Chains A and B, each alone.
Chain A
């Protein structure tokens, strides 16, 4: 037998998401066609059955996420992929997955504009929606990809976090990352670290489906494995049954939030470039982080002490990572393909020492390295505050 070797391949972001999902052992996909996400469904329809998995095209996105949650309840890792309009339709059931703590991954390849918007243009307009789209206080994890390689690794990470914390994880991509082809060397499946949900260790009679471990995460039984239990979107007690008892209700809410707070150091992912001695820095995510990287490198060449903090985890917002740099630097530039959604978060966590400067573009085009560079030059000269 020859040993498997890594191969270099030319992939689109959407294809890399497919590879990442399969490497993370995703075995179920339900979706509804939508640009610019359709390639994910198309490829999984070919590849999932070959690994004993299941693909289904549902009648809409509400049904898609419903099927995904159903599949996950049987112990199968499941995902869907969509774009803005479909993501809007998914919100109610997304909340169900948060409340009932059903692991799943939802990819939103962002397009421009509200409503049907700009189907074939990149944007980052769904960032706050990813955080707060479903009603009620709820925990959620939102990750953003900026490259083809990211699309692979972050998708794997998304499944791992979903399983570990029993939570839906949203992966935000955008039209540019989704459709750009890059040459990448992907790890072999055997090299990919895969996390699975913790199964109950006690006999079925002792199983309380929502009794959490010290991390705040309850072990999860699968339908059919002998641990008959009840799953509901109503506020429930440890036994999984609806309750209106104020103490139980409060406990339910607090634990959902606490399980994420306890895992922050594991969940909050960022990448730092030239941050150690930075006097001003850029906070960017998604395809904009690529432009920002180039701009920062150019600025360094011009003698400007600029840095880049790339956010991979958008929510829970990585406040603790940001805080020291907000103290260290005189300015932070937040370029986004929206009218200011992450800049709100930066402003929120800023204690007032640092000037938070927005750079927004909503014409369906990318923010260029030059645009960011020009702002960095001005900021370093102290002409903009």
Chain B
């Protein structure tokens, strides 16, 4: 039995301190927050050992509400702060939470280098295809042709796939879910958090307020329904032609590989440096 929402709320929220939250009713951010908390509960991690670091955006507000060591950094930079935290205190379990603009526009360089560097970090990217907080401007994942507040004539740029970017950049673990597939999201976050090395979980989410409405997809429920219809599992996707996959969302584990983890490698460097110095 998964823990009830009440139990999670009781255990992990900063009661009376930071509520009500800033999110719109029906926003997918809440579902992702629930998934993260269920994963943490299942892993039975101590609150003291968890650091939740975010960037700036609607998604970036998540740490404010949760009773961990929490950090709300600058736009796009969550992974850089997280890198310093993890290296300075490897015993901490560090999770970065980012929006699509946060992680792949302004913070895109940090994402690919964090993937390449392979520290033992977890990155959760809430991909709602739009800049939510600033009022619905296009992001690097806004689909071609979409209407946004900065593309009222239709978006003329192409979206890229965050997960494919992470796979190519060398992340040890990459997975994708949607907010409709919440149980899968729980499970993928859990896997990501125990995976040694850099793990990315992309969660396709709904910003019905800034994106759904303008693009005639509808409200939160309509958007979730569309995710349900668009989703295909990794296994199924492997049997499909590229054309068939157009407009689909592949969900599940996209990469899972064992690579030397630089947090561990650095221990070796310390030993080497010490013995060299003692030898002097």
Contact = CB atoms under 8 A, between A and B. Distances in A.
A28 B273 contact: no
Contacts of B13: none
A74 B89 contact: yes
B219 interface: no
B94 to A, nearest CB: 9
Nearest to B75: A92
A62 B80 contact: yes
Nearest to B268: A49
What bracket does the count of chain B residues touching chain A fall in? Answer: 35 or more
A96 B49 CA distance: 24
B84 A68 contact: yes
Nearest to B69: A223
A284 to B, nearest CB: 36
- Grouping DSSP codes into helix (H, G, I), strand (E, B) and loop, the B interface class, with mixed when no group exceeds half, is helix
B161 interface: no
A30 interface: yes
14 contacts: A50-B270, A54-B88, A58-B83, A58-B113, A62-B80, A70-B81, A76-B89, A92-B74, A223-B85, A224-B48, A232-B72, A233-B72, A239-B17, A241-B17
Contact of A28 (B88, B110, B274): B88
Contacts of B49: 224
Contacts of A230: 14, 63-64, 70-72
Given A66-B81, A78-B88, A233-B74, A241 B18 contact: yes
Interface string B51-70: 10100000000011001111
A250 interface: no
Contacts of A137: none
A232 B109 CA distance: 22
Interface string A215-233: 0000000111110111111
A56 B117 CA distance: 10
A70 B80 contact: yes
Interface in A56-112: 56, 58-60, 62-76, 78, 92-93, 96
A66 B73 contact: yes
Contacts of A242: 64
Nearest to A230: B70
A68 B71 CA distance: 14
A190 interface: no
What bracket does the count of chain A residues touching chain B fall in? Answer: 35 or more
Interface of A: 27-28, 30, 46-50, 52, 54, 56, 58-60, 62-76, 78, 92-93, 96, 222-226, 228-234, 239, 241-242
Nearest to B93: A224
Contacts of B91: 224
Contacts, number: 141
A49 B270 contact: yes
Looking at A28, A46, A222, A228, which has the most chain B CB atoms within 10 Å of its CB? A228
A27 B84 CA distance: 12
Contact of A50 (B14, B85, B273): B273
Contact of A67 (B18, B63, B72, B83): B83
B69 A228 contact: yes
Contacts of B69: 223-224, 228-229
A59 B110 contact: yes
Interface in B74-112: 74, 77, 80-89, 91-92, 109-110
A58 B80 contact: yes
Contact of B83 (A52, A63, A96, A222): A63
B220 to A, nearest CB: 25
A207 B49 CA distance: 18
A105 to B, nearest CB: 14
Nearest to A95: B74
Contacts of B51: 223-224
B273 A74 contact: no
Given A226-B48, A228-B69, A67 B84 contact: yes
A101 B51 CA distance: 18
Contacts of A28: 84, 87-88
B240 interface: no
A71 B277 CA distance: 24
Nearest to A65: B80
Given A49-B272, A78-B84, A92-B74, 4 more contacts: A62-B80, A66-B80, A70-B71, A230-B70
Looking at A59, A223, A239, which has the most chain B CB atoms within 10 Å of its CB? A223
B84 A228 contact: no
A209 to B, nearest CB: 11
B77 A74 contact: no
Interface in B262-280: 266, 269-270, 272-274, 276-277
Contacts of A68: 84
A99 B204 CA distance: 33
Contacts of B77: 62-63, 66, 93
A70 B88 contact: yes
A73 B85 contact: yes
Given A50-B273, A96-B74, A59 B84 contact: no
Nearest to A48: B273
A69 B88 contact: no
Nearest to A28: B88
